[in-house]
Structure 1
Amino acid sequence: MANFSKTADSLETTLSEGRPQGRGWISLRVTLLALLLAPLTAYWTADQVVDVIFSLMIPPVIMTFVVAIINLGVRKISRRWALTEGELIIFYGMHTVLGAICAEWMNIVNPHIATYALYASSNSDYRNKILPYITTWLFVPYQDADKFKDYRDGGHGFHYFLTHLHLWWSYVLGWTLIVGLVGFAMLCINSLMRDEWTNREKLAFPIIQLPLAVVQMGAGRLPLWKNRYFTGAFLIMFAIDIINGFHQFYPNLPLINVRFIGDLQQLFPNPPFNAIGWTPIGIFPYMAVIGFFMPTDLLFSCIFFFFFRKALQVFTYAIGYTQSAGVFGGGGLVPSPPYFSEQSWGAFIGLFVMAIWVARGYLREVWQQILHGHPPGDRGVPHRVAFAGLVLSVVALCVIGVDIGIPLWMTFVTIVLFLIFSVALTRMRAQVGPPSHEMAFMGPNQMIVDFAGTQNLPEAGVSRMVNTFFFLNRIHRTHPMPHQLEAMKMGERARINQRALFIAILLAMVVGSILGHLIYIYRGYVWGAGDVGGDVSGTVSSFTTKHQPPNIVAILFVLIGFCVVLLLDFIRFQVPGFPFHPVGYALAMNFGLDYFWFGLLIVYLIKLFVEKYYGLKGHDKLHQVALGIILAEFCAETIWAVYSMTHNHFATYSVSINGRLGWNQ
C-alpha cells in the first residue's frame, strides 16, 4: 500500500502504519475546500437536473476530478501541500452527499414552499384542501402571497435576491431540520450496518469504481492516462460527444446517435403485444458500461425481469385489463393490474427482511455493543451513539409531525416504511450498482392507502402528511443514503477515520439543504417560479374525495412481491448457479430499467464473450474501457452543461437519459 506524507494541517497518519487516517478529526483544509466549492456543485445539480438523475451523478465526480488534476500539479511542487487520497475521498464524499440533497429532495421541497399561496386563485384544491392545513413555518400562507410575487414573476438579479432573503429563512431552516433528521437517521443506519455490508458480505459497490480511480489518480497512485485501453476509450467517446454537441449548433455536421435509437413498441402495433408500452431502445454508453462492474448474475437478472415485466403487461391486457397510470404508481396512486408498484413494495420489504436475516449474527453483536458500550474496532462511530441517533431522529420526526397536525401513527408509519425502503435500496445499490434506480412515485403513501384505505383518513392529516413528506414519495433517483454508504466504503479503502467521515457527511447534508434552498430561491427571482403543486394537490384530492376501503387485491400483490423475493433467495441458497436474483425482480417491477435495458443487454453479451475467451485479463481491460467511457461522457457533458448555464439555458446536447431538448432530443 502506498505511503502518504503527513499534511501541515492534518493529524492523519500514513497508510503504511496500518492505522486509520486521522486521530478523530478530519483535515480542516479539505473541509474548507469542500465547503468553498460546495456552491458550484449545488448550483450545477439544481440548474442542470439532467446531470443528476442517475446513480453516479456528474457534478461531484467532475468537481473531484478537477481537484485531483490540480492536486497532481501540487504534488510535483510539494507533496507536503498536496491532498492525500483520504482527503480527496472526504472531498468527494461531502460533494456527492450534498449533491444528492440538492438534487431531487430540494427540487421537490423548495418550489412547493410558496406555490400554493402564489397560485391559489387559479386552483381550488390549493384553496380548499391544502392552504387551510399548511404549517406556516414550512409553507407560505395565503395572506403573505403578495410578499413573494416578485419571486413568482422573476426578472430580478442577485442583489434583489439578497435583499429579500429574510422572507425565506424560517422556511429554509424548518425544512433543513426535517431533511436533516431524515438524513441523520439514514446515516446512523449506515454507521450501524457498514461493517456488515463492506467487510463481511463484501458487497461489490460498482458505482464507486470511477470515483475511486479519480481520487487514486489525484493522489499519484493510479496513472489512468498510461493505460491505453482507458485512454483510447476516453478519446473515442469524448470525440463522439463533442461532435454530437456541435451538431446542435451546426446541423450539417454528423450526429453519431448513442442515445435513444428507437422504440420497440413500434414493432408490435397490434394488441395484445402493443401493451408492452413505451420500450425505448437506447445505448447511453456511460450507463451501459457500469454493467461491466456489476456481477454477471445480477446483470442477467435485471435484463430477464425487465422482459418478464413486459410479458406481464401483455398478459394483463390479453385477459381483459387495460394499462393505466396506476401501473407504475402514477400521481394519483391508483392501484391497477398488474400492480407493479405493489409488487415493487413487496419486493423491497422482502429484500429488507433478507438483509436482516443474512446479518442476524452481526446484528446480535451490534446489540451487545449497544447494551455494553463497546466501540467499533475501526474507530467508527460507537454503535450505542449511532443507535441513539437513529431513535432520536425518528422520535423527533414524530414530534414534529404531531406538532404539524399529522396523526402520530401516520408519521411513524411513513418514516419507518421509508427507512425500510432506504435500507433495501442502499444494500441493493451496493450489491448491484444499477445505473439508475428510478422508482416512480413509490413511497409510503402508496402503502398507507393500500392497507388503511382512504375512507377513515382525516382530510387535515392527509393534507399535512402528503405536503410534509412528499419528498419521500417521489422517484428516489438521487436518494442520499446510498451516497452516504459509498463514501464510507471509499473511506475504508483509504483507512480514513470513520468518525471524522461521519461528521463530514452530516455537515454536507446540512450545507446541501441550505444551499439547495438558496439556489432555488435565487432561480425563482431570476427566472420566475411556476406552479409545481399539481402532483401534491392531485394526491391530496384523490385521498380525500375517493373514500375507499383497504385494497385487498393490492395488498395481495404486495405479499406476492414479498414471497417472490423470499422464494428466489431460498432457491439461490439451495441451488448453486441459479441465475435469477431477487434484486433484478425488485428493480424491474418499476420504471427505472426502461431507459438503459438495451445498453445493459449489449454489455452483458460482451462481458460473457470476454470472460469466456479472455478471462481475468480481458475482464480487467473491460474495466479500463468502462472507466474511460464514463469519464469521457462526464467531461463532455460538463462542457455542454457549462455552456447552457452561461448562455441563458441554451438547449445544448446532453448525454443524459433526459436531454435538454426533450427526452429523445
Structure 2
Amino acid sequence: MKKVMLGKIGKKGGVTLRAVLIGLAFMPINVYLVVQWETVWGTQYPTTMGIFFNAIFCLFLVTALNLPIKKFFPNSAISQGEVLTIYTILLMAITVSGHDFTQTIFCTLGTCRWFATPENEWNSLFARYLPQWLTVNDENVLRGFYEGESTFYTVQHIKGWLEPMLWWTLFLTVMVFTMLCINVIIRKQWIEREKLTYPLVQLPFEMTLNDSKKNFFSNKLLWLGFGVAAGIDIINGLNFLFPIFPKIPLIYNLGEHFVDKPFNTIGSFPIQINPYAIGLAFPIPLDLLFSCWFLFIVWKAESVIGSIAGVNLPEYPFPDQQILGSYLGIAAVALFMGKKSLWQVMNQTFSFPKRKSLNKKKRRGKMIKKAIGIGSDVDDSGEPMKYRTAVFGAILGTASLVIFASQAGMSILFPLAFFLIYFAIMFAFTRMRAELGPPLQGIHYSGPLQLIVATVGSRKISPQTLTVAAPYWTFTKELRNNPMPFVLEGFKLAERADIDTQKLWKVMMLSTLLGIFVTFWAFLQFNYKWGGVGAWRGVAAYTVIERWVTRPVEPDATFLIATGFGFIVVLINTVLRLRFLWWRLHPLGYPLAGYYHFDKLWFPFFISWAAKGIILKYGGIRAYRRTFPLFMGLILGEFIMGSVWGILGLLTGKPTYAFKNW
C-alpha cells in the first residue's frame, strides 16, 4: 500500500550531553527560586504565566556567555539547538514545580491529621479513608513541618515523607508522560498542517538565532524597549525596598468610579501598564487581540445588563462555569478540525480496513499486526515517537492514573471521568497557547471535580472517594500551571531549530522527573524552616470536601447550564468565523477575557492591538518586522530585571519587587 507521508522533523542534533548537563545544572536553582517566590514569599508567581521569565533569563545568560566563545572559539560554541534544548529542560522543570501543580499536592498530605479538631470532626470524617502510602500521619514528623524552626534532614523526617514523595512523583511523571503522548499525536496537525503561530516561542527562537546578517541583540529598537521596561522595574524595585524613592504608577482602577447601580456590578476595571504583556501580545494575530479586549468589555456588560434586568443569582454571570464550558468547546472543535489527521494516527496504530476489502478474520489479523508493529501505512519515522507508542502511551498512562486513584480508595468511574475532563481541558489550553499565546490562562474553582459533583451531586459519591480526591482538588482549582502546552511548544522549537525530538522528549521526561523531586525537596526544606508554608491550600481542599460530605448536594443545574452556555458560545463563534469572513470575534477570546486575572491584561492587549493595527495599516508587513524587536525588548527588559530582583531577594533573604503586579 502506498505510504502516507506525514512529514518529519529534522534530526540535526541539539540534544547533546553538554546541553543536557547545562540544563540540569540550571534546574535546581530555578526550582528553588520558584518555590521561594510562589509559596514562601507569595511574589512573582512565574509559573502562572504563559512564558517563564526566569527561563528567559537563563536563556539570555547562556546566549551572552556564548558570544565570546563564538567569536574566539567558534568550533566550541553552543549551537542554537543546544541552547533551545537547555531552555526546554528548564521549561519542563519549572512548569512541574509550580504552586498550582506539584507544590499544592504536598500541601494536603499532612493536613487532615494536623488540622483535625473536635469542632471540625475531620478525624471521624476522613481519617479512616486516608491512604497511608500517600499521606503523612505521624505527628512527630508533621510538627516541624507545620511549626518550623526545625530541619528536614533527620532520619525520622526523611523516612516519614519518602514513601508518599516517591508515589506522588511517579503519579505526576506519568501524568506528564500522558500529556506528552497526546502532543505527539496532534503535533503534525497543528505544527505542520495548520501551521499555528505559537507566539510564545518567538522570543526564545529569535534570541538564539544564528544569523550573521540579522543579529537579534544588535538591533537598536530592541535595546530601546529593553531600556524602557528595565528602567521602570529598576525605579519601582528601589521604591519597594526604599519607599522614600519615587515610584512610577502603573495601575489605575476605573472601577472606583462606578459606585451606583447598575454600573457598580462592573467591579475591578484596572487600566494597567505591563510592558512585558504589551510585548507578548504584539505577535498575536489582530483578530485575536481584538477579540480578547472587546470580549472583556462584553463580560463587564453582562454584569451590568444582569443588574438592570434584576438578576440576583449569586456569581452571575457565572464566568468560571462559562469558561469551563468554553474550553471543553475548544477541545471539541480542535478534535473535529483535526479528525482526518487523528484518523490516520489511529489507523496507523490499529488499522481499520474497509469492510469489503477483507473478511472478518483478516481484518482482525491486520489490526493485531498493526498493534504490535508489523505493517505500516504511515511514515512516522520523523515523529518524536512512533504513533503506536504515543497512542498506547496515552491509553496506558490514563489507565495507570485511574488505577492509582482506585488503589488509593476512589471508585473506578470517578477518576476515569476526572482524567478525561482534565486532559480535555489541557488539550484546549494547548490549542489556545498554539494559536493565541496568552500571557496567562486558567479556570478559577471550576475544574473536573466541580463538574463531576455538579453533574451527579456529592450525595452519590462516597465519602472515601471524596476524601482521596482532596489532593486532586488542589492542582485543578486554578489550572494555571499546565505542562502540556510547554511540551508542544518544545516540539515547535525543535521543528524550527532542527532538534532531534526523538531524543528531546526523553530529556523532557528526565527534567520532569527530577524537577518534581527537587520541588518536593525544596518545599520540605522551606516548611521545616519556616513552618506551615502553603498550609492554607490543604485546609481549603479539605474544607471543600467536608462541605460535600457533611452537606451533600444534588446536581447543580445552574452550574451545568452555564457550562453548556460557554460550550455553545464557542461552537457558534466557530461556525460564524468559518461561514463569514467579516466575523472578527475569535472563540479563543471568550474564555481568556472572562478569566479573573485578565482584568490586569486587557489594556496591554488593547495597546498592542492599536499599535499593531496602525503599523500594519500605514507601514505594512515591512514596518511590522522592523518594529518587532522593540516589543521583544519590552519583554526582555522586564524578564531580566524581574529575575535580577528575584536573585537579589534570594541572596538577601528578603522579598523584592514583582513586576507582574498581579
Please give the TM-score of this superposition, normalised by the length of structure 1. 0.89
* Contact residue 438 and residue 591 of structure 1 kept, 8 A: no
- The one-letter amino acid of 1:435's match is P
- Residues 604 and 379 of structure 1: is their aligned pair in 2 closer, same or farther, counting only changes over 3 Å? closer
1:79 deviation in Å?
2.7
Instruction: Name the SS for the 2:75 alignment partner.
Output: coil
- The one-letter amino acid of 1:150's match is G
Asked whether 1:590 is paired with 2:611, we answer no
Instruction: Name the SS for the 1:614 alignment partner.
Output: helix
- Which of 191, 204, 208 aligns to 2:201? It is 208
- Residues 222 and 90 of structure 1: is their aligned pair in 2 closer, same or farther, counting only changes over 3 Å? farther
- Which of 215, 221, 232 aligns to 1:223? It is 215
Q: Which moved more, 1:221-230 or 1:300-309?
A: 221-230
Give CA deviations for 1:277-335 in whole Å, capped at 9, x if unaligned.
122221111112211011110111111111111111122233334474xx3xxxxxxxx
Asked whether 1:147 is paired with 2:152, we answer no
1:122 deviation in Å?
7.7
1:535 deviation in Å?
1.7
Distance 2:527 2:118 in 1: 20
* Contact residue 9 and residue 495 of structure 2 kept, 8 A: no
- The one-letter amino acid of 2:432's match is M
Give CA deviations for 1:488-511 in whole Å, capped at 9, x if unaligned.
100111111111111111111111
- Residues 221 and 46 of structure 1: is their aligned pair in 2 closer, same or farther, counting only changes over 3 Å? farther
Structure 1: runs of 5+ lacking an equivalent? 1-16, 328-336, 659-665
Instruction: Name the SS for the 1:112 alignment partner.
Output: coil
- The one-letter amino acid of 2:53's match is I
Asked whether 1:310 is paired with 2:313, we answer no
Q: Which has the higher contact order (CA 8 A, sep 6+)?
A: 2
State the partner residue of 1:85: 80
Distance 1:618 1:89 in 2: 28
Instruction: Name the SS for the 2:209 alignment partner.
Output: helix
* Contact residue 379 and residue 497 of structure 1 kept, 8 A: no
Asked whether 1:534 is paired with 2:539, we answer yes
- The one-letter amino acid of 2:21's match is L
Distance 1:188 1:480 in 2: 12
- Residues 119 and 320 of structure 1: is their aligned pair in 2 closer, same or farther, counting only changes over 3 Å? same
1:271 deviation in Å?
1.3
Distance 2:396 2:427 in 1: 18
Asked whether 1:349 is paired with 2:339, we answer no
Asked whether 1:444 is paired with 2:434, we answer no
Distance 1:165 1:220 in 2: 53
1:556 deviation in Å?
2.2
Instruction: Name the SS for the 1:519 alignment partner.
Output: helix
* Contact residue 97 and residue 480 of structure 1 kept, 8 A: yes
Q: Report 1:502-521 matches (<5 A).
A: 502-521=505-524
- The one-letter amino acid of 1:308's match is V
State the partner residue of 2:70: 75
Please give the TM-score of this superposition, normalised by the length of structure 2. 0.90
Q: Report 1:369-518 matches (<5 A).
A: 369-371=348-350, 372=370, 373=376, 374-465=378-469, 467-518=470-521
Structure 2: runs of 5+ lacking an equivalent? 1-7, 39-43, 351-369, 371-375
* Contact residue 443 and residue 480 of structure 2 kept, 8 A: yes
Distance 1:576 1:445 in 2: 39
State the partner residue of 2:358: none
* Contact residue 45 and residue 51 of structure 1 kept, 8 A: yes
State the partner residue of 2:359: none
* Contact residue 433 and residue 485 of structure 2 kept, 8 A: yes
State the partner residue of 2:224: 232
* Contact residue 447 and residue 479 of structure 2 kept, 8 A: no
* Contact residue 426 and residue 485 of structure 1 kept, 8 A: yes
How many residues align? The count is 621
- The one-letter amino acid of 2:11's match is P
Instruction: Name the SS for the 2:271 alignment partner.
Output: strand
Q: Report 1:13-412 matches (<5 A).
A: 19-22=10-13, 26-49=15-38, 50-52=44-46, 53-103=48-98, 104-121=100-117, 124=120, 126-141=122-137, 144-156=138-150, 160=153, 164-216=157-209, 223-258=215-250, 261-322=251-312, 324=314, 327=315, 337-371=316-350, 372=370, 373=376, 374-412=378-416
* Contact residue 72 and residue 220 of structure 1 kept, 8 A: no
Instruction: Name the SS for the 1:120 alignment partner.
Output: coil
Give CA deviations for 1:564-613 in whole Å, capped at 9, x if unaligned.
11111111111113111111112223323112111111221112111111
Give CA deviations for 1:157-209 in whole Å, capped at 9, x if unaligned.
68x46884333221211111111111111110011111111111111111111
Give CA deviations for 1:381-432 in whole Å, capped at 9, x if unaligned.
1100001100111111111111111011100000000000000110111100
- Which of 637, 649, 654 aligns to 2:642? It is 637
State the partner residue of 1:524: 527
1:545 deviation in Å?
2.8
* Contact residue 209 and residue 216 of structure 2 kept, 8 A: no
Q: How many percent of aligned residue pairs carry the same amino acid?
A: 26
* Contact residue 275 and residue 323 of structure 1 kept, 8 A: no
